[in-house]
């Protein structure tokens, strides 16, 4: 088990390195640069060259790449040439906002999708089951952007229950924090839940046909209790992958939601930095997102080992699901 986990860690490191190269090349391919942004469009070529030299932008690409990677490895994300703040100081408060949004949004989506998906699986031949599946289909067709605006219209404009934009840190005002996050989290949670319900339903439909569930009923569990007792863990084996993918999708969804509700998360930081060609900030932010997605996938791989005993034992008959 330790060897397996270690090998997956190696794959993780290689992926990260590859991603850093792609991120660096793409961001440097963007036309225009930060010197132009700093000096404006009527700057002289001499002034531009001077600023570029100061920022090290005149160095060859590969040298800049290694300088950047070297910084990352020693924990130095660099300093924004525009704001003169260390990138880490710009990122930290933004990361907190996005993290709250994603974690609470995914949590909410699981809380919604798990019971609904199980219900849809158990009642798959009845009206209730069809209704849940149909509702999820409709929910999936709604773009995040639209969903957010709709919720803002209902709860902020029409009912005036919740604020539609802005953010207050948790440490300053817990109630205000909750109020400002409520609509964004609801938006992300509902959109993710609509996707998740389908996977939960099909995972449980599959489990319902398993022989061990029939065995469980033969010893006296009711269908529902058998599903809770022996279905959930087995369905979880296939759902862990989906939730991992969902988590990655939620990161992207969060960037959109942040725009709708003007939350100061990494989404707005990233978009702002791209438009100003502040590549130091862009690269650090994108690398952070890549790191998050890779780390999620790595966790997913390792959590298989925790849930599924067949994957744990070495040299066992290869009968476990892939």
Partner 1 sequence: MLAVEHLTVAFGRRPPAVRDISFAIPEGGRLGIIGASGSGKSVTALAIMGLLPEYARVGGSVKLGGAELVGLPDHEYSKLRGDALTMVFQEPMTALDPTMRVGRQIAEAYRLHAQGSKARDEVLRVLAAVGMPDPARVADSYPHELSGGQRQRALTAMAVINRPGLVVFDEPTTALDMLVQAQVLEMIDGLLRATGASCLFISHDIAVVAQLCAHILVMQDGQAVEQGETGQLLRAPRHPYTQALVAAARKGAVRG
Residue ranges binding partner 1 (CB under 8 A): 125, 210-212, 214-223, 225, 229-230, 233-234, 237, 307-310, 313, 316-317, 319-320
For residue 142, the minimal CB distance to partner 1 (Å) is 34
Give 86's strand partners: 79
In the complex with partner 1, the residue whose CB is nearer, 117 or 231, is 231
In the complex with partner 1, the residue whose CB is nearer, 128 or 309, is 309
For residue 223, the minimal CB distance to partner 1 (Å) is 7
C-alpha–C-alpha distance, residues 75 and 86, integer Å:
12
In the complex with partner 1, the residue whose CB is nearer, 299 or 310, is 310
For residue 242, the minimal CB distance to partner 1 (Å) is 18
> Cα-atom radius of gyration of the chain, to the nearest Å?
24
Q: What are phi and psi of 248, to 5 degrees?
A: -65, -45
For residue 117, the minimal CB distance to partner 1 (Å) is 19
For residue 226, the minimal CB distance to partner 1 (Å) is 9
In the complex with partner 1, the residue whose CB is nearer, 40 or 318, is 318
- Pick the closest to residue 11 from 321, 295, 314, 315 (CA basis): 295
Give 79's strand partners: 86
Give 234's Cβ-side CA count (13 Å radius). Answer: 20
In the complex with partner 1, the residue whose CB is nearer, 40 or 220, is 220
Concatenated DSSP letters of 227-292: IIIIIHHHHHHHHHHHHHHHHHHHHHHHHHHHHHTT--SHHHHHHHHHHTT-HHHHHHHHHHHHHH
């Amino acid at each position: 088990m330790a060897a397996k986990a270690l090998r997956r860690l190696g794959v993780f490191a290689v992926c990260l390195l590859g991603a850093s190269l792609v991120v660096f090349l793409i961001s440097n391919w963007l036309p225009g640069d930060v010197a132009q942004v700093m000096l404006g469009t009527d700057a002289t070529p001499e002034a531009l060259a001077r600023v570029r030299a100061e920022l090290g932008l005149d160095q060859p690409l590969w040298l800049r790449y290694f300088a950047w990677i070297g910084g990352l490895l020693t924990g130095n994300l660099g300093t924004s040439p525009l704001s003169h703040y260390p990138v880490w100081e710009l990122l930290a408060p933004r990361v907190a906002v996005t993290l709250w949004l994603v974690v609470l949004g995914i949590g909410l989506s699981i809380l919604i999708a798990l019971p609904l998906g199980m219900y849809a699986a158990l009642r798959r031949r009845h009206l209730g089951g069809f209704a849940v599946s149909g509702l999820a289909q409709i929910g999936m067709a709604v773009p995040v952007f639209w969903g957010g605006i709709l919720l803002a219209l209902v709860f902020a404009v029409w009912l005036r229950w919740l604020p539609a934009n802005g953010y207050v840190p948790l440490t300053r005002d817990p109630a205000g924090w909750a109020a400002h996050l409520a609509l964004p989290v609801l938006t992300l949670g509902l959109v993710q839940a609509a996707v998740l319900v389908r996977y939960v339903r099909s995972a449980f439909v599959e489990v319902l046909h398993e022989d061990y569930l029939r065995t469980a009923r033969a010893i006296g569990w009711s269908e529902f209790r058998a599903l809770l007792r022996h279905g959930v863990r087995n369905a979880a084996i296939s759902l862990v992958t989906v939730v991992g993918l969902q988590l990655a999708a939620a990161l992207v969804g969060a960037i959109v939601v942040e725009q709708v509700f003007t939350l100061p998360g990494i989404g707005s930081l990233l978009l702002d930095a791209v438009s100003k060609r502040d590549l130091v900030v862009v690269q650090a932010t994108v690398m952070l997102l890549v790191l998050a997605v890779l780390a999620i996938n790595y966790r997913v791989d390792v959590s298989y080992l925790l849930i599924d005993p067949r994957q744990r034992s070495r040299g066992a008959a290869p009968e476990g699901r892939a």
